[in-house]
Amino acid sequence: MDTTPAGDIRDKLIIGLDVPSVDEARRIVGRIGDAATFYKIGYQLAYAGGFDLARDLIADGKKVFLDLKLHDIGNTVEEGVRSVARLGATLLTVHAYPQTMRAAVAGKAGSPLKILAVTVLTSYDEQDLLEAGYAPGTKPADLVARRAGQARDLGVDGIVCAAPEAERVRAVVGPDRLIVTPGIRPAGADAGDQKRVVTPAEGIRLGADHLVVARPIVKAADPRAAAEAIVNDIAQAAA
């Protein structure tokens, strides 16, 4: 049962458990304690026992974002989403292709699970799109906006996009859908392999509902203090 107070500012921070083992993830969650309420489990951890961890986190009153980026034939996506809904996750990602999004919406029907469409990965820039076969000159922000519009029309609950595109996405999807932004780095932190990054405060000011932060917290000497500092930045920006 979720015991997080309604409107808890901590919900806006989603900590990415981008680590190789469940044991390491459990240690991090234990060190963070009540400084955080929401965790993301992606490929690396999901395929190393992370689904059992997700069940345990949910049982402990935490929220879980399964960042699985589903994309397959419609029936496979629909049944996969249905299984995730039974697990009790709060958020699930799928790639923003119309057939995939349509199937995901059908699969979550009758459950509180929210589907997020991944528009353009935050590690992609214009050159990456060119190499992937898109027309020369295709800009990530334009592709994000187009896919966000398709997601809105299909009834998807929210969009994953880089914070610099959040304002444009909000104009497309309206006020009632979620915007979740990865690529968040505290001021002075290494950007790593992310190419479109902003600070936590900037992400909130640009209109994000949730910020995904991984390495600056899970690799910190004091993960709890790192999480608390980011929540404080979010609170100040949201005030």
Other C-beta atoms closer than 10 Å to the C-beta of 170 total 19
Residue 3 in any domain: the answer is: no
Determine the 3-state secondary structure of 227 from DSSP.
Answer: helix
In DSSP terms, 15 is beta-bridged to 39, 213
- C-alpha 22/C-alpha 210 separation (Å) is 24
What per-residue confidence (pLDDT) applies to 3? Answer: 42
Q: Both tokens of residue 123?
A: 């590690």
Structural domain contains residue 202? yes
Q: Which residue has the tokens 């697990």?
A: 87
Is residue 205 included in any domain, yes or no? yes
Q: Give the pLDDT score at 239.
A: 78
Q: Regarding predicted confidence, which is higher, 135 or 120?
A: 135
pTM > 0.85: yes or no:
yes
Residue 4 lies in a domain: no
Establish if 2 belongs to a structural domain: no
Active site residue 69: yes
Interval 38-51 mean pLDDT: 96
pLDDT band at residue 104 using 50, 70 and 90 as cut-offs: very high
Q: Answer yes or no: are the C-beta atoms of 45 and 17 closer than 8 Å.
A: yes
* Mean pLDDT for the stretch of residues 180-202: 69
Residue type, 138: T
In a domain, 131, yes or no: yes
Domain interval for residue 188:
9-238
Q: Which of 40, 63, 69, 108 is catalytic?
A: 69
Residues 207 and 167: beta-carbon distance below 8 Å: yes
Question: 199: domain CATH number?
Answer: 3.20.20.70
The domain total for the chain is 1
- Residues 212 and 16 sit within 8 Å (Cβ to Cβ): yes
Asked if residues 18 and 44 have their Cβ atoms less than 8 Å apart, the reply is yes
Instruction: Kindly give the residue spans of alpha helices, DSSP state H, lying in 42-199.
Output: 43-45, 51-59, 74-87, 98-107, 126-131, 140-154, 166-173
pLDDT of residue 189: 53
> SS3 for 170?
helix
| Least confident segment among 26-35, 76-85, 104-113, 157-166 | 157-166
Average pLDDT over residues 215-223: 95
